Amino acid sequence: MELHSDAAVKNILGLQLPTDPRWVDLAAINMGAILTDHAYCEQKAATTCISIIQRYSAYPDIVKTLAPIVTEEWGHFRLVLQELEKRKLPLGPQRKDVYVNALIDFSQKGGDEAGWLLDKLLMMAMIEARSCERFKRLSEGLDDAYLRKFYRRFMESEAGHYVLFLELAEKHLDPVRVRQRWAEWLAHEKEIMASQEIRGDRIH
């Protein structure tokens, strides 16, 4: 998936508010914190996929589709760990993820099972979309050529995962309901991004 501009990001990923360009400059001077946060993001992506598999083990397609994603996300976690080790940087403590917690607060807590599954898949799609956009910023804005290439690889992977989660939602749930709820998610995510301070020590 090719992403060459803010317009492309909005058209392909649907994100309504691009990352402030100043974020990359702040991230560049906090690469230890960025890599640590990135590592935990990959770890949480893997464990969330595992939780969906466990809850929906009766759905062979969900299990078959997400099982390789677990392996891929955990592989990404290891790649980021290797990068920290190479730079002689420690894996710092896991921080409170304000962005993801705000998404969780927006997701359905009770009600019908279909609604729970829909919001879980859409939340994962949203996180992957924003991660893709952030990795795009890093792949284009960092002075370190190696890290630009490093994050280009992650950008492409997250774009694929974003599409996969939306496709899973439309396959197992009413596509009209999926599109309506996705529009709500996009609008809410814009509000979250607008309310957050610019921090160079975190991916989201």
Euclidean distance between the first and the last CA atom of the chain, given in angstroms as a whole number:
21
Domain range holding 135?
22-195
The contacts of residue 65 (CB under 8 Å, 6+ apart) are 164, 168
Confidence of residue 109 (pLDDT cuts 50, 70, 90): confident
pLDDT band at 12 (very low <50, low <70, confident <90, very high): low
As a whole number of angstroms, the distance between CA 194 and CA 97 comes to: 16
8 lies in some domain: no
What is the pLDDT at residue 22? Answer: 93
Mean pLDDT value across residues 169-182: 95
Q: Name the percent of the chain in helix, strand, coil, to the closest 5.
A: 75, 0, 25
CATH code of 109's domain: 1.20.1260.10
* Tens digits of residue pLDDT in 46-98: 999 999 999 999 999 999 999 999 999 999 999 999 999 999 999 989 988 99
Q: Say what the pLDDT of residue 110 is.
A: 77
Average pLDDT over every residue of 34-40? 97
Answer yes or no: is 164 within a domain.
yes
Domain annotation covers residue 16: no
pLDDT digits (tens, 9 = 90+) for 116-153: 999 999 999 999 999 999 999 999 999 999 999 999 99
Phi first, then psi, for residue 182 (nearest 5°) are -65, -40
The confidence score (pLDDT) of residue 46 equals 97
| Total Cβ atoms within 10 A of residue 43 | 18
Would you say residue 155 has pLDDT above 50?
Answer: yes
Range list of β-strands (E), the chain: none
Q: Does 103 map to a domain?
A: yes
Residues 6+ apart with CB under 8 A from 90: 32, 36, 84
Is there a domain that residue 17 lies in?
Answer: no
Q: Regarding predicted confidence, which is higher, 47 or 1? A: 47
- Top-confidence residue, 40 or 95: 40
* 202, 37 Cβ separation under 8 angstroms: yes
Mean pLDDT, to the nearest integer, of 23-43? 96
11 lies in a domain?
A: no
Is residue 115, in this structure, part of any structural domain at all? yes
Q: How many domains does the chain have?
A: 1
Q: Give me the chain's average pLDDT, please.
A: 92
Asked whether the predicted pLDDT for residue 24 surpasses 70, the reply is yes
User: What was the pLDDT predicted at 6?
Assistant: 56
Confidence of residue 8 (pLDDT cuts 50, 70, 90): very low
Whether 165 maps to a domain, the answer reads: yes
